[in-house]
Structure 1
Amino acid sequence: MALFKKQAGLGERLAALEEAAQIGAPYLAPERRERLEQVAHAGAQRRALSAEHTVVGFFGATGSGKTSLFNAVVGEDLGKAAARRPTTSSPLAAIWQPAGSEELLDWLGVEDRRERPGEFAPGAGPIILLDLPDFDSFELSNRAIAERLAGQVDVLVWVSDPEKYADSVIHNEFIRPHANHSAVTLAVLNKSDLLAARDVDTVVASYAGLLRDDGLTNVQVVPTSTLTGAGIDDLRRAITRVAKARTAQTARIEADIVSATQDYAGARGTGGVAKHAKRDMDEVLAQAAGADRIAETTAAAYRKRLHERTGWLLTSWVTKFKPDPLRRLGLREAPDELGVHRTSMPELDAASKAVANRGVRDYAAAVADGLPHEWSAAVADRSEEISRSLPAELDRAVARAELPAEPSKGWNALKVVQWLALLAALVGVLWYLLVAFVPGALTPLLGDTLVPGVEGWPIPTLLIMAGLLTGLVIGLVTAVFGGMLGSGVKRRTRAAVREQVAAVSQTAVADPLLAIRADYDRFAERIAVAAG
């Protein structure tokens, strides 16, 4: 067994994030699912494009001097140098070593592209600097461009000034959402010339403190001034340092993944549902389906049929005129002519439905235990849907149960004895009738003694008594046995109904609800892989 599990590569983490978005689609709010998908797709697309170029975006509020700072870092006012810039709100790219950057810039949506000669700095490698629209612009299109590219560039440079560096709107709406991107973030306090020399360090420290409060740790604040040129070289060196590391692209994607998955930090598989939960639900559903009533009815049907088969023939025929308890309850013991198992029992009454609903709700609560709100809400919604269709499922479960209401064929032997006993009694009666009314008919057989005896008892009388008593005794004995066997019939019937109810509850209740729990377990596992 390995002591350490190898950490997933960036490609595997992005794939896991996309899988998590797909698994969570039925449960997550659209904006949360879209966030996972956006990060997964953007990361995969960025990795498929130029890995050589480091893309650095300059973001700033209106009046921060962002464009002037951009031009100072580039070393030329590119706005003036261009014959025509498409619109003042369009992003502008300064590109060093442009070979292979076309598809990357197409993906970034940057049309205004200015190639720069030589290197940005020795060893910095291919670099693209982007001057972006003000992110607090009243023009929604400008703001949308800045927000989009803040999610695409490799390095973010936040440009502020002494007047707006503490603006809570800028921090809350723009900087704080990127708090996980410290490794690829630079902060600039521009227009430092507006401050007295002794106050620059104080304001820089204040700005750095606000950034730490935003969650950006270890972010260097570079004071600059395009008027005096102060700090411009420091900013260029900071950009060069990030570019030389050749990790900005990966660090940016990893930061995006962390940001997208932080709401699910600590997500873990939930394990199984308590075993007794299913048993408890099956017990409640069997009660709602009328298992006890059906067991009593089946036992009554068994006793009736046994009496018809083995009872005293002089009285058992009356039983045939009584309705069969199973048919009276609307239960069939075999499929109908279409091969479908169903009953004509009345629909569950309100009390039985309430019992069934309670069983489903209690089981749903056990399934939802330990799940986040989105998944537990899905369990609750699904259980409500199940409760509406469950009565029909329970009816089919009852219909499929094998009801042991038919006595075994071995009892037919007693029926033969009953008929033989009745025949003996009839022979005795007929004997006396012939002696009384047609004595000559018996003379050739019996001679002068038409009523012979045994130990003083006339044989016809013995036949009558033996036949009647045998039939009566067999009837009484089988009635007693029928009562005793009825208890076993009830037990087997209850078990048969519960078995079918348990099968229905598995397919109609447990499987759909456990599928939601399994989805969360898969989601948590994929999120864990994505988060690294």
Structure 2
Amino acid sequence: MTDDATLRQRTDDLAQALAVAGPRLDAPTAARVGQAVDGVRERLALGIDHTVVALAGGTGSGKSSLFNKISRLTFADVGIKRPTTARVTACSWDDGAQALLDWIGVDRERRIVQADELEGDEELDGLVLLDLPDHDSVEPKHREVVDRILPLVDLLIWVVDPQKYADDALHSGYLRESVGMEASMLVLLNQIDTVPPARRSELLTDLDRLLEDDGLVGVPVIAVSARTDEGVAQVRELLEEVCERRTVAAGRAAGELDAAARLVLAQLPAEVPWQLDQAVARELPALVEATGLDSVAGQVGAAVRNGYGMPEFPPPDRDAVTLSRARWLTRAGAPLPAGWQRALADTTQGADVLRTAVFEAMRSVPLDVSGPARARLLRRIGWALGGAGVVVGVLAGLMSGGVLDLAAPWPAVAWGAAGVLVLAGLGLTVGVVVARRRLARRRAEGVAAQGRTALERVLVDGLGTPTQRLLAEHRQVRDLAQGARETPVERPKDTAASTSPGAAAAAGSTASTPPGASGGAHA
């Protein structure tokens, strides 16, 4: 896949992550990520065949003189004009950059495009060189222009001078906010001719140390002089190599995406230890108690045993249901940032709706208090047999006492029949009681089981499914943001790395700070 196609895919992934996350990201992050996505898309729409290089620096650093030296023209404002000039000057080495310069916002009268003076510089074909206003100007509009332009460039060249290279306005206002953009940065220590040769190495070492203190490791530093041309050839060689490889624009875009993706990932914990079954199991006992399920189940059993009574479910306890929902949200949302916690509360059922659902679920549980089939008939038969046995027993007693004159073996037969009848009646009666108790236990267990199943369904529908859906979106956003970081773009070879201590350690990082970030315009 080409750099262009890869960057487009990464941009789409990040845009989708932003769309899925929606208001659950904090507003500043969402704005910064949205600006990064829009900026990269605009840059890709203009093509990455051009490499936009900007010279930035403070008053008196000599940016415009270097601009003229690199372009071999005398066009950029120098000297006394600088403090009053808030306009960007551009030099393009081909005539296909007009749309790009329009996008950057360079006035047409401030452009040199494919002038005769630039012919013979084919090695710089595709280069667009910008001279920016002074970032430390007393005019606020100058800094506004700088802050607007910096996110749009592909390679940023900071021009400093021996007197103000340690200026806090540069380091705290820009460089420290540029961590991650080392692959798209270069520092030129201008006016090196004013420094005694014996102190130059010490000066370069100190500048390297300051950059490292800012968090910028491996940023190349080149000592140059616009007056004597020292180092200018090296700068042009670097720009020629950059234009030849055409990867700086892609690297800058990749850095913007990487930084924006890191902002998103910073708000998304990698692991959210939550499982639906465990969450339901934790809250089910509380709802069972809130509905009086076990008590009602016991009442059903008693009604079946006794043959009378009609229990019913009372309305569930409001406070208990509210507390159960709050515990659910706390446990499920504990690892999530505030925006996702609010979304979780909004997408799950409210306490009143949940209480209504619990009540309706309980009312759907059948409360059957009827006894065993034909229990009444069998009980009557048992009583009848017992009564018949008593009657026969009385007759047998009369026979045995001689009141009834019946010879043997009728008294013995009567006594045996009486015993059989009484035992049969007693057996039927006891059997009905046992059957009723067994049925009562099954009915009570059935009510408890069905009630728990109904409550589980309420928990899943009202709390579990929305939680699962939100956490799935959380994982999707994280995967998309991670995918937007996974394809690094190679950094151009640093032809000047040997010019400063530590520059050889320059790495191929493509990280950046998105446009609109605090300090992100300085990346």
TM-score range relative to shorter protein: 0.7 to 0.9
CA 1:153–1:375 in 2, change beyond 3 Å: closer, same or farther? same
Structure 1 match to 2:519: none
Shift of 1:283: 3.1
Structure 1 match to 2:520: none
Alpha-carbon contact 2:382-2:428 (below 8 Å) kept: no
Alpha-carbon distance between aligned partners in 1 of 2:275 and 2:385, rounded to the nearest angstrom: 68
Q: Are 1:106 and 2:102 counterparts?
A: yes
Shift of 1:89: 1.4
Number of equivalent positions:
448
- AA matched with 1:114: I
Alpha-carbon contact 1:267-1:528 (below 8 Å) kept: no
Alpha-carbon contact 1:97-1:119 (below 8 Å) kept: no
CA 1:170–1:64 in 2, change beyond 3 Å: closer, same or farther? same
CA 1:120–1:471 in 2, change beyond 3 Å: closer, same or farther? farther
- AA matched with 2:199: D
Structure 2 match to 1:295: 297
Which string of whole-angstrom CA distances, capped at 9 and with x for unpartnered residues, describes residues 224-262 of structure 1?
Answer: 333444333332232222222211111111222222233
SS of match in other structure, 2:174:
helix
Please give the TM-score of this superposition, normalised by the length of structure 1. 0.73
Alpha-carbon contact 2:192-2:224 (below 8 Å) kept: yes
Structure 1 match to 2:507: none
Matches within 5 A, 1:136-155: 136-137=136-137, 139-155=139-155
Alpha-carbon distance between aligned partners in 1 of 2:430 and 2:223, rounded to the nearest angstrom: 110
CA 1:15–1:355 in 2, change beyond 3 Å: closer, same or farther? closer
Q: Are 1:481 and 2:483 counterparts?
A: no
Alpha-carbon distance between aligned partners in 2 of 1:144 and 1:296, rounded to the nearest angstrom: 76
SS of match in other structure, 1:22:
helix
CA 1:275–1:421 in 2, change beyond 3 Å: closer, same or farther? closer
Structure 1 match to 2:39: 42
SS of match in other structure, 1:261:
helix
Q: Structure 1 residue aligned with 2:310, among 311, 318, 325?
A: 325
Structure 2 match to 1:391: 355
Structure 1 match to 2:474: 520
Structure 1 match to 2:69: 72
SS of match in other structure, 2:123:
coil
Alpha-carbon distance between aligned partners in 2 of 1:130 and 1:29, rounded to the nearest angstrom: 35
Alpha-carbon distance between aligned partners in 2 of 1:193 and 1:124, rounded to the nearest angstrom: 27
- Structure scoring higher RCO (CA < 8 A, sep ≥ 6) equals 2
CA 1:353–1:92 in 2, change beyond 3 Å: closer, same or farther? same
CA 1:485–1:201 in 2, change beyond 3 Å: closer, same or farther? same
Matches within 5 A, 1:32-181: 32-79=29-76, 88-99=85-96, 101-112=97-108, 113-115=111-113, 116-117=115-116, 118-119=118-119, 121-137=121-137, 139-181=139-181
Alpha-carbon contact 1:284-1:355 (below 8 Å) kept: no
Matches within 5 A, 1:225-240: 225-240=225-240
Matches within 5 A, 1:128-527: 128-137=128-137, 139-263=139-263, 264=265, 268=270, 270=272, 273=275, 275-303=277-305, 307=307, 324-326=309-311, 329=312, 331=313, 345-350=314-319, 352-353=320-321, 356-357=324-325, 360-361=328-329, 364-365=330-331, 367-368=332-333, 371-374=335-338, 377-378=341-342, 381-382=345-346, 386-387=350-351, 389-407=353-371, 411-412=373-374, 414-416=375-377, 478-527=432-481
Alpha-carbon distance between aligned partners in 2 of 1:179 and 1:203, rounded to the nearest angstrom: 22
CA 1:80–1:382 in 2, change beyond 3 Å: closer, same or farther? closer
CA 1:121–1:179 in 2, change beyond 3 Å: closer, same or farther? farther
CA 1:137–1:491 in 2, change beyond 3 Å: closer, same or farther? farther
Which string of whole-angstrom CA distances, capped at 9 and with x for unpartnered residues, describes residues 360-394 of structure 1?
Answer: 25xx52x346x453576447745996445422221
Shift of 1:142: 3.2
Shift of 1:504: 0.9
CA RMSD of aligned residues (A): 3.9
CA 1:267–1:284 in 2, change beyond 3 Å: closer, same or farther? closer
Structure 2 match to 1:436: none
Shift of 1:164: 2.5
Shift of 1:418: 6.5
CA 1:346–1:214 in 2, change beyond 3 Å: closer, same or farther? same
CA 1:77–1:423 in 2, change beyond 3 Å: closer, same or farther? same
Shift of 1:531: 0.7
SS of match in other structure, 1:156:
strand
Alpha-carbon distance between aligned partners in 1 of 2:35 and 2:426, rounded to the nearest angstrom: 87
Alpha-carbon contact 1:184-1:248 (below 8 Å) kept: yes
Please give the TM-score of this superposition, normalised by the length of structure 2. 0.74
Alpha-carbon contact 1:61-1:160 (below 8 Å) kept: yes
CA 1:108–1:212 in 2, change beyond 3 Å: closer, same or farther? same
Q: Are 1:529 and 2:498 counterparts?
A: no
CA 1:75–1:420 in 2, change beyond 3 Å: closer, same or farther? same
Shift of 1:169: 3.4
Alpha-carbon distance between aligned partners in 1 of 2:168 and 2:295, rounded to the nearest angstrom: 70
SS of match in other structure, 1:42:
helix
SS of match in other structure, 2:56:
strand
- AA matched with 1:527: A
Alpha-carbon distance between aligned partners in 1 of 2:132 and 2:147, rounded to the nearest angstrom: 10
Which string of whole-angstrom CA distances, capped at 9 and with x for unpartnered residues, describes residues 253-310 of structure 1?
Answer: 1222222233537974657627433322223322333221221233234345xx2xxx
Shift of 1:193: 4.0
Structure 2 match to 1:20: 17
Which string of whole-angstrom CA distances, capped at 9 and with x for unpartnered residues, describes residues 69-98 of structure 1?
Answer: 3233223332569xx99x831222111111
Which string of whole-angstrom CA distances, capped at 9 and with x for unpartnered residues, describes residues 403-446 of structure 1?
Answer: 343446xx24x445667899999xxxxxxxxxxxxxxxxxxxxx
Shift of 1:163: 2.8
Alpha-carbon contact 1:181-1:255 (below 8 Å) kept: yes
Shift of 1:483: 3.2
Alpha-carbon distance between aligned partners in 1 of 2:191 and 2:6, rounded to the nearest angstrom: 42
Please list every run of 5 or more consecutive structure 2 residues that lacks an aligned counterpart in the other structure. Answer: 387-409, 412-416, 487-523
- AA matched with 2:145: I
